[in-house]
Structure 1
Amino acid sequence: MAIKTIEMLKGCESKEDIIQVIVAVASELGDVIEDVNTLQVIPMKGALTNEVYQIIWPTKKGEEVRKALLRLYGEGVEIFFNREEEIRTFECISMNGQGPRLLASFTYGRVEEFIHARTLSAVDIRDPETSALIASKMREFHRLHMPGPRKVHLWQRIRNWLSEVKTLCFPKDIIFFGLDNLDEEINMLEKLSSEGYQDIGFCHNDLQYGNIMMDEETKSITLIDYEYASYNPVAYDLANHFCEMVADYHTDTPHVLDYTKYPELDERQWFISIYLSSEGKKPSNAKVDQLVNAAEKYTLANHLFWGLWGLISSYVNKIDFNYREYARQRFQQYWIKKVTLLDSTSIASQDDEIVNGSLPSFT
């Protein structure tokens, strides 16, 4: 499974260019690849935005091998983020000792340092010991000092995606997903979330299990893949992580979400208590509850965020994943959770709209 795998890579302009990049990376690391047929390329499952591969080649000693990670950018993903900004974020996080090194970058992909650690599974992130490590790492990540203004990026990004998806969608999808109603929902959520104190930190914004790695010997956690990383309320990042606990991207139906797996209140309280305790001071119950409640309300924004992402991806991304059905589930969960999370006035208003047929039913 060597060079034939490179020939079968999807979305690349030239396998010869990729080979040249890998040969150059090997040379920078002190190796010489004399025969490209010695390259091994292993597809890595679970990536929903890019094509990701493990690259292996023999070192100059011959009996040892070197590993790197090849990332080929998915089609149309420039809609979601600025690639140049993402590369700068990647390099800055690396300089802060928080992730892999960037080994090479080219037009349609990059080569990264291969981290000798295990990518977590859907089961792992529910394990109490592992979950505690993730909570502490999130707190550390949120305290990174990154370039750019320390302001909330969430709402503008959601609005940009809503505008983009309306230009892509067929009219039937605009009606089915209720996209014409989302401007008001976004305005309402932003207003509610701005009330009271907000802790703004540098957030990963995509902390699913596949973006978390653990060294089995040291038990150290590394967060990877920063395409969506930006300053945001830390409560939103916590909400995102909790929402990802319902997903398993390594099944025969990776797009299917099981909301019976959403963490119960005591599990969320425990996680956030560990998160707040990671700097050495035990938080009060009131502070824990405050952040738990804030994170729970931010799940609504999270459902809109990934619902829009899924719908856009269904039009632009060629990865084998049912993005449209994924989006449907996220939007459906938004309307379900809104009833329980917002006040009675909002609920009554929503009920009237559903009766009048102006909101999607997703049935």
Structure 2
Amino acid sequence: MAIKTIELLKGCGSQEEIMEVLAAVASDMGDVIDDVSSLQVIPLKGAMTNEVFQVKWPSKNGGEVRKVLVRLYGEGVEVFFDREEEVKTFECISKHGQGPRLLGRFTSGRVEEFIHARTLSAADLRDPEVSALVASKMREFHNLHMPGAKKAQIWQRLRNWLGQAKSLCSPKDAKNFGLDNLDEEINILEKKLSEGYQEIGFCHNDLQYGNIMMEEETRLITIIDYEYASYNPIAYDIANHFCEMVADYHSDTPHVLDFKKYPGLEERQRFIRIYLSSEGNRPSNAKVNQLVKATENYTAANHIFWGLWGLISSYVNKIDFDYKEYARQRFQQYWLRKANLLDSPSIVSQDQTLNESLPSFT
């Protein structure tokens, strides 16, 4: 049954502009869209920053159904990244033969090629065969040659986001989330985690299962959504992926994280061995364990990163997701695990206000 675009995309910018772009995209494919009723618009679940829709229409010859993906940018996301830079990244990655093509842009979003593959599920990340494919694809992604300085971007982004959080938050939230202490925490982490050699690669920085697609027959993996992508330590990106294994964004409580599902040592070692082996080299046990250790340490930075993201999002994003509760869990994990992760009890925060204000994790 056809669903009118204006009914599903209302309040998301100029309907006329969206229809003009879709008509232009259809024309490039040799089709004609002259009636909104010919469109079928299907909301896709799982997005936490944007709203995404599959849009379909019959081709001109009537024997094929065309599909594109329409992405509507979330409110307030400009506090997280520069949209123009993100689009440039999208186009550059596409030129490298990675991900979908950009088909059209409008003020509040864009039209992308629809990838004929399925989005992975939370359970897929724990499947050894699928996980091995993801590990190899991640290595390939990290080796992309992209514009910009090849240096860690995580620390400046954390400081920028902390500034945004302080400017947006109520005094109560600022106190409960310990924002006044985070400047020093970020400084300590940067100093500690930057010691010694670390490999820098072009990182996705948000490799949750919803941003990974797999073509069933060929088992080809495609990584999508590059809003947070930048150069960073590869250990940070792997740490992010491991942390995402505790989430199920398609559950009835998508904001609730179950850290009992965090991958065990053997699973982490297997993933990293495959990651390092994907270019034909056979890494030593020492090299594997070195990256395992670095990855574990970077989970600390990862928890602050997504804690700040959740807190800021609770003020700027209207998507139905309990961002603040999500942020509480990420900050709680940071404070609970920091000393063990970094092997340095002396840098445990003296401020216990945050731990006392956060719900206990079950």
What TM bracket, shorter-length normalisation?
over 0.9
Partner of 1:50: 50
Partner of 2:180: 180
Alignment of 1:326 with 2:322, yes or no, is: no
Q: Residue by residue, what CA displacement relative to the aligned partner does 1:106-159 show, whole Å, maximum 9, x if unpaired?
A: 211000000000100000111000000000000000000001111111000000
Alignment of 1:166 with 2:166, yes or no, is: yes
Partner of 1:309: 309
Alignment of 1:218 with 2:218, yes or no, is: yes
Mean alpha-carbon deviation: is it higher for 333-342 or for 70-79? Answer: 333-342
Contact 1:6 1:41 in 2 (8 A): no
Q: CA deviation at 1:8?
A: 3.1
Equivalents in 1 of 2:336, 2:92: separation in Å?
A: 39
Partner of 1:260: 260
Q: Report the secondary structure of 2:276's partner residue.
A: helix
Q: Residue by residue, what CA displacement relative to the aligned partner does 1:157-211 show, whole Å, maximum 9, x if unpaired?
A: 0000000010000000001001100011000000011101110000000000000
Equivalents in 1 of 2:235, 2:54: separation in Å?
A: 34
Q: CA deviation at 1:358?
A: 7.4
Contact 1:67 1:114 in 2 (8 A): yes
Equivalents in 2 of 1:358, 1:57: separation in Å?
A: 52
Q: CA deviation at 1:12?
A: 1.2
Alignment of 1:8 with 2:8, yes or no, is: yes
TM-score by length of 2: 0.97
Equivalent positions of 1:333-344 (< 5 A) are: 333-344=333-344
Q: CA deviation at 1:3?
A: 4.0
Contact 1:178 1:360 in 2 (8 A): no
Q: Report the secondary structure of 2:4's partner residue.
A: helix
Runs of 4+ in 1 over 6 A off after TM superposition: none
Q: CA deviation at 1:14?
A: 1.9
Q: CA deviation at 1:336?
A: 1.0
Q: Residue by residue, what CA displacement relative to the aligned partner does 1:187-240 show, whole Å, maximum 9, x if unpaired?
A: 000001110111000000000000000000110100000000000000000000
Partner of 2:87: 87
Equivalents in 2 of 1:8, 1:54: separation in Å?
A: 11
CA RMSD of aligned residues (A): 1.3
The amino acid of 2:172's aligned partner reads: K
Q: Residue by residue, what CA displacement relative to the aligned partner does 1:244-276 show, whole Å, maximum 9, x if unpaired?
A: 000000011000000000000110000000000
Alpha-carbon spacing, 1:81–1:344, altered in 2? closer, same or farther (3 Å): closer
Equivalents in 2 of 1:61, 1:116: separation in Å?
A: 21
Equivalents in 2 of 1:345, 1:29: separation in Å?
A: 61
Contact 1:5 1:41 in 2 (8 A): yes
Equivalents in 2 of 1:320, 1:230: separation in Å?
A: 27
Equivalents in 2 of 1:121, 1:85: separation in Å?
A: 29
Equivalents in 2 of 1:204, 1:344: separation in Å?
A: 29
The amino acid of 1:261's aligned partner reads: K
Equivalent positions of 1:132-143 (< 5 A) are: 132-143=132-143
Q: Report the secondary structure of 1:112's partner residue.
A: strand
Q: Identity over the aligned pairs, expressed in percent?
A: 74
Q: Report the secondary structure of 2:232's partner residue.
A: strand
Partner of 1:362: 358
Contact 2:339 2:345 in 1 (8 A): no
The amino acid of 2:272's aligned partner reads: I
Contact 1:11 1:74 in 2 (8 A): no
Alignment of 1:241 with 2:241, yes or no, is: yes
What stretches of structure 2 of length at least 5 have no aligned partner? none
Equivalents in 2 of 1:271, 1:281: separation in Å?
A: 15
Partner of 1:24: 24
Equivalent positions of 1:91-102 (< 5 A) are: 91-102=91-102
Contact 1:175 1:360 in 2 (8 A): no
Contact 1:328 1:362 in 2 (8 A): yes
Partner of 1:126: 126
Q: CA deviation at 1:345?
A: 3.6
Equivalents in 2 of 1:361, 1:266: separation in Å?
A: 34
Partner of 1:104: 104
Q: CA deviation at 1:6?
A: 3.3
Contact 1:7 1:15 in 2 (8 A): no
Partner of 1:298: 298
Q: Report the secondary structure of 2:66's partner residue.
A: strand
Alpha-carbon spacing, 1:213–1:79, altered in 2? closer, same or farther (3 Å): same
Equivalents in 1 of 2:355, 2:337: separation in Å?
A: 14
Alpha-carbon spacing, 1:286–1:10, altered in 2? closer, same or farther (3 Å): farther
TM-score by length of 1: 0.96
The amino acid of 2:91's aligned partner reads: E
Q: Residue by residue, what CA displacement relative to the aligned partner does 1:58-114 show, whole Å, maximum 9, x if unpaired?
A: 101112100000000000000000000000000000000011000001211000000
